[in-house]
Amino acid sequence: MTTVDPRTAAARPGRLPRPRAARPDVPDAELERLREENAALRAQVRTRADELDLATRMLAARAQTMTSVIDAVTEQSIIGTDRDGVIRVWNPGAEKMLGLPRPDVVRKRSIVEFHQPEELEAAAEGCGSATGLAALVHAAQEHGSDVRDWTYVAADGQERTVSVAVTPRTDDRGVHAGWNFVGTDMTEARATERMKDQFVSLISHELRTPLTSILGYLELVLEDEGQPLTEEQRKYLTTVERNADRLLRLVGDLLFTAQVDAGRFSLQPQDVDLAGVLRAAEETARVTADAAGVEVVVEIPEDGVVVPGDAVRLGQACDNLVSNAVKFTPSGGRVTLSLRSGWAAPDGTVGDEPRFGSAPVAQLAVSDTGMGIPTGEQGKLFARFFRSSTAQRNAVPGVGLGLAITKAITTAHGGTLDVVSAEGEGTTFTLTLPRATA
């Protein structure tokens, strides 16, 4: 029979030492305390092990969820890189867009290899970067994110216009680990936009030239004192002139919206007295209002209100609001044009007195007692070619460009355009602009 030394057995790996027999020089109380501490340590180790196991499983589940979500995106490319631009994430959308399977790309290719070289070089020169990757991530590095069009080059050499959202990527410790590139193929959309802009510009030019000629000859005929017209002839030619003017304004609106979409909308800033703009709009609408039986009231402060802006464009915006108010107000109704100075708080509210953090503004309001706009349609008012159901039911003329143009002009001046309306109770449009101060 083999004899086993208890001390050797206690030291075997994987086994905790067994309690030693009580020694005469160690009190029983001390031994009991040591046993309790040993038990507490064992429990703590088991708890920490359980917590670590749970955290590991949660992290694995989270990673699996993220992978599943990324792999489920098939219409957008999701590409993740390390700090040097080497691709680490390549989803099915990227495979579809760029024509390469994941094993051929991950850890083998750089993101810059799928960009048009000339475009990268131009971008690098523009931001003072030495490399293509630096040009790609320059704006995202400065602002935290960036979205713009880039040209992707697929494996077969086909080029695509892609709207790419770039954001930094961090590891589980929060340390910068690379970049995320989420791309949406905009090739067809951008081509459609270019064709639309070209079509609008062409049609506008081809219509504006003959219309201008027609209006010029109409003016000569109507004002020719040597060959006076009969009342019936003058009536007919005046109708022709009115409709030619209407067509010319429509052509101008179409051309303006094309300029806004193409980013070619520019302003000629100067100090503009909004009181004069409002009076001019009232004079323009006066004939139409009188004919429709609509009263126009003007409420303007005596000292006026000056704002920095383009007088022509602000006049166009004001004319649109006033003419709309007159059109949508039935006979016997009222249109009120008002102007006031105020102070805009950071939350957007406007008061008469300055407060901490407030900025000087001017508010131009056009109110009517007309048919109003349904609540569910008010969010669509500033979309091009949108016409409310009340306008359609009451056969109010128009094509739905006026408010879209007014909104674009207001935004270009750093202002806001708000609407308050109730069906059957009227509408108020309020144009708020930064105000010049002495």
Q: How many Cα atoms are found within 13 Å in the side-chain-facing hemisphere of 433?
A: 31
Position 153 scores a pLDDT of 95
Six-digit token string for 283: 């004079």
Query: Has residue 16 been placed in a domain?
Result: no
Claim to verify: residue 60 and residue 142 sit in the same structural domain: no
Residues 6+ apart with CB under 8 A from 28: 22
Can you give the pLDDT of all 438 residues of the chain as single tens digits?
A: 444 454 444 444 444 455 555 455 667 788 888 888 888 888 888 888 888 877 777 766 666 666 666 677 788 999 999 999 999 999 999 999 999 999 999 999 999 999 999 999 888 887 777 788 999 999 999 889 999 999 999 999 999 999 999 999 888 788 999 999 999 999 988 888 788 777 777 877 788 888 888 999 998 998 888 888 888 998 899 889 888 888 888 888 878 877 777 667 778 889 999 999 999 999 989 988 999 999 999 999 988 899 999 999 999 999 999 999 999 999 999 999 999 999 998 888 888 888 888 899 999 999 999 999 988 888 888 887 788 888 888 777 777 788 988 999 999 999 999 999 998 899 999 999 998 775
Both 418 and 342 in one domain: the answer is yes
Residues 412 and 290 in one domain: yes
Picking from 261, 278, 308, the residue at the C-terminal end of a domain is 261
Same structural domain, 278 and 366: yes
Give the tokens for residue 220: 């000569």
Tokens 């969010």 belong to 379
Please tell me the total count of domains within the chain: 4
What CATH number corresponds to the domain at position 97? 3.30.450.20
What DSSP character marks residue 115? B
Q: Is the pTM value of this prediction over 0.75?
A: no
Q: Indicate the Cα dihedral angle 14, 19, 21, 25, nearest 10°.
A: 120
229/340 same-domain check: no
422: CATH:
3.30.565.10
131 and 52 housed in the same domain: no
- Answer with the one of 237, 261, 285 that is the final residue of a domain: 261
Same-domain status, 400 and 332: yes
Residue 13 maps to a domain: no
Residues 56 and 135 reside in one and the same domain: no
Residue 1 has a pLDDT of 43
Same domain, 340 and 394: yes
Q: Which of 133, 150, 185 is the last residue of a domain?
A: 185
What is the domain extent for residue 60? 30-71
**9 within a domain of the structure (yes/no):** no
Q: Which pLDDT does position 6 carry in this prediction? A: 47
Tell me what pLDDT residue 9 has.
Answer: 45
Distance CA 292, CA 323 (A): 12
DSSP H helices in 99-230: 117-127, 132-143, 187-222
CA neighbours within 13 Å on the CB side: how many for 50? 6
Residue 14 lies in a domain: no
Residues 315 and 418 in one domain: yes
Q: Are residues 334 and 352 in the same domain?
A: yes
Q: Within a domain: residue 1?
A: no
| Same domain as 313, residue 245 | no
List for the chain the helix, strand, coil content (%; round to 5).
50, 20, 30
Instruction: Tell me whether residue 11 is in a domain.
Output: no
Question: 318 — alpha (psi -120 to 50), left (phi > 0) or beta?
Answer: alpha
